Structure 1
Amino acid sequence: MTKVPYRKPALTYAEQIEQLQERGLVINNIPRATHLLESISYYRLSGYWYPLLSNKNNHTFKEDSKFQSAFQLYSFDRELRVLILRELEKIEVTIRAKLIYLLSHEYGPFWYEDSNLFSNHIKHSTSLGNLQREYERSDEEFIYAFREKYSNPLPPSWMMLEITSFGSLSFLYSNLKSSRVKRDIAKHFGMNDKTFSSWIHSIVYLRNVCAHHSRLWNRVMRIQPIKPRNIYKTWLVNDKVSNNRSYYILSIILFLMQTINPEHSIVSRFKSLLVKYPNVDVFAMGFPNNWEEEPLWQS
């Protein structure tokens, strides 16, 4: 396909409203719609009226498609991201704590500096460079105190990895050589180390999607978690579902919460969202017909 320069002009809010109406979108409250375009933006909202289009190329809407329906999808997605971020914080903190504890007791406080523990020395060097930068820009009081008192170029893992991004932590774990302690970390959460590494990577991706306020509900995930072979806790009975949609990554969160917080209320809060936003199509999120019958999804 021959590429052409982008020549579409910026539209005023009034012109955006007019364009949407010409394409068949019903807008009952123009001042309200204008306010939402101003505070959210046309382009961000367009991801939520995209399912309402009858012709994706010409951007024409299905009959009786409403602006309010698109905003309802946006609102559902926003609340879903908030729900997920609340749980991802718990998952990240627990994984970080377990990894620090087991590896430090096995290999000592500065295990992350030992290249012999890692499979790929180039990746390990990259990790150390990332950790060094995070250390240098940290303004945590405990890091400042360490710099003032000790001559080590980097602090022990229980300090260093508390200021490390979850992405850097995931990268560090994935590069560890296969060992008993690496397997023990994964087994604590109910799976083998290969699955655990893949799932952490997917959680990092999901966290970034949520943190950047990106559309989630019907997203096709660019980072796809592997489907587990050996699993030691309750998992999906129907594991034939797609692993690149929201349903699968939400199921991973539920699986991990069996270890982290068995008394969680994720399922009931998610179902409450579906009641609040009845126009949400869970099948677009990758949910199968019998998802409520899955033991993992029993509230």
Structure 2
Amino acid sequence: MYSKPHLSFEKQLDLLASRGLLYDDRVFCVTALKRIGYYRLSAYSYPFRLLLPPEQRETETNFRSEKFKQGVKFETVIQLADFDSKLRRLIFEAIEEIEIVLCTRVAYIAGRVAPFMHEKPASLDAERCRSKVTQNGKEITRWKAWKNKFKTLKAQARNEDYYKHFEQKYDGKMPIWVAIEFIDFGGMARLFKIMPTKVQSDVAKLFNVRSGATFSKWLVALNYLRNKVAHHNRLWNRKMTYSLQVPNVNEVTSELEHLRSRDSDLNSTYDYIAVVAYLMSSISPQSHWNHEVCSLMESFPVSPHVSPENDMGFPPGWRLLNLWS
């Protein structure tokens, strides 16, 4: 049974101090506990704790002791949490722009081919529509998974004026350039997966990606990233659940070529940020989002225990890469 007592914010700081966490400004640190929360901050203090010997680990994820490494200050932990918050906001801003451009391009290109493509499997890719996915523990076709998602999204939009207009005048039948208004990023990724190859490729090329298949897999990963950011989850040192598809030779320009030589799967924070920066430069070259990333990285806490290279997957000398220049 869980038996740890409820503690005031002041006593929470005292507990951390008893475990070896130093601080300079008590008022500042208590205020941070009130603002961010003890348990949320524990995710940012975790890398600064001592490693436990294997025989002392109580669970498979319990790698560290409650004791802190020598010389660690609570102000550094707070700085790391604030850095992560700024990173989430920066990424959310970029994904918002990518999502809007994606929906606009899909509506235009797919609408030109078949205005009601999203409701007619005959207008989509037959093989991918028949392929299977698992939903709520059951194996169903991608077409059925999309139909279920579309039905849910449509129901959520039923109080919108444009929805009522189409319901009353056109029996609820909406062309894709209207339906796109209530299709979220996850729904778009699901629909894009079963679209005809030519439609996929035509959309992907507008993002400077020459493969619709690769771009389709990136959309799934970016939707995952969007959800993490939207729910304020820790991002800075996260290993992502979805690995980004490694682009083949000539599928992208030289700015992303360095991802092809990575030693591991493309699931680090850096890998995702790099792809977002690449897509942003393709659709909004005037935004200088890549330079904003560089500026933000200058605020990363200076500490011997954490670094962008070791914890976020940033490659050595990353600032010299064309993507960030």
The two structures have a TM-score, normalised by structure 1, of: 0.90
Which of 175, 182, 185 aligns to 2:203? It is 185
2:102 corresponds to: 95
Report whether the alignment pairs 1:114 with 2:120. yes
> After TM superposition, which residue ranges in structure 1, 4 or more long, deviate above 4 angstroms?
none
Deviation for aligned residue 1:98:
0.9
Q: Structure 1 residue 286 and structure 2 residue 313: aligned?
A: yes
Segments of structure 1 that go 5 or more residues without pairing to the other structure are: none
Equivalent-residue separation in structure 2 for 1:50 and 1:32 (angstroms): 20
Residue of structure 2 equivalent to 1:248: 271
Structure 1 stretch displaced more, 68-77 or 237-246: 237-246
Q: Quick check: 1:272 aligned with 2:295?
A: yes
- Give the partner amino acid of 1:34: V
Residue number among 219, 224, 241 corresponding to 1:222 in the alignment: 241
1-structure distance, mates of 2:246, 2:22: 42
Q: Does residue 141 of the first structure (1) align with residue 161 of the second (2)?
A: yes
User: Could you list the per-position Cα deviations for residues 211-255 of structure 1 after superposition, in whole angstroms to 9, with x for gaps in the alignment?
Assistant: 111111111111111110042423334222341111111110121
Q: Given the alignment, which residue of 81, 88, 100 partners 1:74?
A: 81
SS at match of 2:234: coil
Q: Structure 1 residue 209: deviation in Å?
A: 1.0
Partner of 2:136: none
* Equivalent residue letter for 2:283: I
Partner of 2:195: 176
Structure 2: how far apart are the matches of 1:247 and 1:191? Answer: 22
- Checking the alignment, whether the CA contact within 8 Å between 1:131 and 1:160 is kept in structure 2 is no
- Shift, 1:200, TM fit: 0.7
Taking the aligned partners of 2:28 and 2:317, their CA distance within structure 1 comes to: 38
2:17 is aligned, of 11, 21, 27, to 21
SS in structure 2 of the partner of residue 50 of structure 1: helix
Measured after TM superposition, the shift of residue 70 of structure 1 is 0.4
How far apart, CA to CA, are the structure 2 residues paired with 1:252 and 1:104?
27
Q: What percent of counterpart residues are identical?
A: 32
Aligned to 2:133: none
Counterpart contact for 1:127–1:172, Cα < 8 Å: yes
Q: Which whole-Å deviations, capped at 9, do the CAs of 1:6-51 have from their partners, x for residues lacking one?
A: 4444433233222211110012222332222222111111111112
